[in-house]
Structure 1
Amino acid sequence: MTDIDDVLDAVGPRLRDLRTRRGRTLADVSEETGISVSTLSRLESGLRRPTLDLLLALAQAYRVPLDDLVGAPASGDPRVHPRPIKRGDRIMIPLTRHSDGVDAFKLILPGRSSAEPLPLKTHAGYEWLYVLAGTLSLALGDTVTTLTAGEAAEFDTRTPHAMSSGDTHPVELLGLFSPQGEQIHLRDE
């Protein structure tokens, strides 16, 4: 067996570990990547050899460098090269490469033209927010709190919650999400 074979044999367990640590199912990953559940299962079990096109789609879905999927040695460069993720009119910019517990994001929420309340959501996890600029309207159950630049909030996401700009101007904030929080904010809607 060659070094390349050894590297490729280790990809499947890495993929399974990454998916399970993120609390995702094969069906979740299949829906996001367009890769069939059976192909994902064969990749994870080592019954299918990974190809570059499959690895690129999976690296993008898990928001990790391709090097992490194949176990490449660290380059020593600590910088994160974020790619903005646009969800409707919201923008999320990942500030962590990957995490086993908490992911950091910069969020930009658009200004609101109406005071109509946003639908409240719940999910497993915990969130921490810090307002960089603008005014944030944070609904936790029946209570709405307004936060301005320099203020922070933290809450259990099993509490029904929603967040939006508190006025017609965009709001920028930093957020720390558990994997479940990341999943709901990036993939739900």
Structure 2
Amino acid sequence: MSASRNKIHPHKYSMWIAMASITMMFIGFTSAYVVKRAQANWQSFSLPTIFWVSTALILTSSLTIHLALRQFKARNMSSYKQLITLTALLGIAFAVCQVIGFSDMKSHGLTLDSTVSASFIYVIVGAHILHVLGGVIVLLILFARAYRTRIRTYSAVPIEVASTYWHFVDGLWIYLLIFFSLAR
């Protein structure tokens, strides 16, 4: 076995470094949340129900991107295109549900500047939405590339990197939802 076969692709390595950085950022956010929660002016509230709907959407999108990767590796480009498009649409639907959740919070008087606890939700969930939308942009680029990819010149690395990132933002949302549910 050659030494080059044991090396990780530079794009995959870069993605792992990026995910580690993003993880550190969200650990910082949730740590600050815990510290601030101990203050006297903290106001607890329930998360909007739509956040649970968005969770179902992002979990489904993890399945669709997994299937898209399998179809790409099987060189079934028609199914791959459909699944990568569905994944992107589910990502957009996730973000829309999050914005609806913000609207629900606002209708209950929980605005960005109303309470420290609401501010944390807006900032942390907003940062997560931006990461999801970044992933959606990548998925749309992969979709566009699927129309010009020739089977003899294709590489699975971009979809593998995108899939890893997508599962990461999915897992990050699950962590955040559990965190917010338990640390009210």
TM-score by length of structure 2 reads 0.27
Q: Which structure has more strand as a fraction of its residues? A: 1
RCO higher in 1 or 2 (8 Å CA, sep ≥ 6)? 2
TM-score by length of structure 1 reads 0.26
Q: Which structure has more helix as a fraction of its residues? A: 2
